[in-house]
Amino acid sequence: MTFKNKNALFCALDMRSIDQAVTFTSSIKDYIDGIKIGMEAFYSMGIDGYLRLQDLNIPIFLDLKLHDIPNTVKSAIKSLIPLNPFMINVHISGGAEMLRAAVGAIHESKESKPKLVGVTILTSMNEYSFEEQGMKLNVQDQVINLATLAADCGLDGVVCSPYEAGKVKSKCGKDFLTVVPGIRLDKTESDDQKRTLTPYEAVRNGADILVVGRPLTKANDPLEVAKIIRKNIDGYAN
C-alpha cells in the first residue's frame, strides 16, 4: 500500500466506544493516513468495532504487541490476518525464534500479507526503567540491537521513539520502516511518554509513520490539530 503522503500520520484510537471511534475517525479522515487500534480499543470494541472502522476504508495498524512462545504468536497472527490489517506488531524481546515464526505466518498466508513490525523499547521507558529491573542498558543502544535482530529475522520495520528512528535507518536501511509514537505538539506535555519529539522533529529524524494519540483524541478541536500536524509533516517533506 502506498500512502498519499510521503510521511504517514496514523491516529491512535485509544477509546472504548465504537460509535465514538467511527465518528472521530470520520471527522479527521482527510488529514490522516491510517488509524491504530490498540489493546484498549480492540478489547473493548471487539471484531464488530474493528469491522465498522474498516468500513471507513482507511489502513489499520492493529497494535496488539504479540509476545508469547513462537507457536502461539504464529497462530495468533494467522487468526488476525483475515481481518486484513495494514500492519501488526510483535515484541522483539520475544526472541529470534518467535520473530521468525511470526514472519512465517505471514509468508504462508494465501490472503492478505500485512506489514510486520517489532516493538523495540516502549516510549514510556528510559534508563531508569531498566535500572528498576536490575539491568544496566543504554536505551538507544538496546533499540538498535533489537532493530537489527528484527531486520535479520525478516520483519518490515520497528516501533521506536523518534529519537532512535534515524539510527535505525542508518543501521537497517532506508526501506526498513520506522513507526514512531511519542509525538507531542509541545514536548513539555509528555504524559506518561518519556522519549518524545514534535512531528516536524520526528520526520526530520527519520520517522516513516507517526502515531499520534492523545494530542488528537483529547484535543478540543481534533480537526484543527490534525491539520496542524499534517502541515508540520508536509512542511518538512517539501
Q: How far apart are the C-alpha atoms of 161 and 29, rounded to whole Å?
A: 24
Residues facing 91 on adjacent strands: 119
pLDDT at 193 (0 to 100):
53
pLDDT at 3 (0 to 100):
62
Average pLDDT for 157-165 = 93
pLDDT for 47 beyond 90? yes
Q: How far apart are the C-alpha atoms of 112 and 82, rounded to whole Å?
A: 7
Q: Is 134 left (phi over 0), alpha (psi -120 to 50) or beta?
A: left
pLDDT for 200 beyond 60? yes
Highest-pLDDT range among 45-59, 111-125, 191-205: 45-59
User: Confidence class of residue 4 from pLDDT cuts 50, 70 and 90?
Assistant: low
pLDDT at 134 (0 to 100):
74
Residue range 134-149, pLDDT digits in tens: 767 788 889 999 999 9
Residue spans per domain, the chain? 8-237
Cell of 86: 495494514
Highest-pLDDT range among 57-61, 110-114, 199-203: 57-61
Residues labelled catalytic = 65
The more confident residue out of 125 and 157 is 157
Are 213 and 191 within 8 A, CB to CB? no
pLDDT at 111 (0 to 100):
85
Nearest C-alpha neighbor of 180 from the set 198, 31, 217: 198
Residue range 50-68, pLDDT digits in tens: 999 999 999 999 999 999 9
Cell of 101: 515464526
What topology does CATH give the domain 8-237? Answer: TIM Barrel (3.20.20)
- Mean pLDDT check: name the lowest of 1-10, 33-42, 117-126, 203-212: 1-10
User: Confidence class of residue 237 from pLDDT cuts 50, 70 and 90?
Assistant: low
Residue 209: CA atoms inside 13 Å, Cβ hemisphere, count? 28
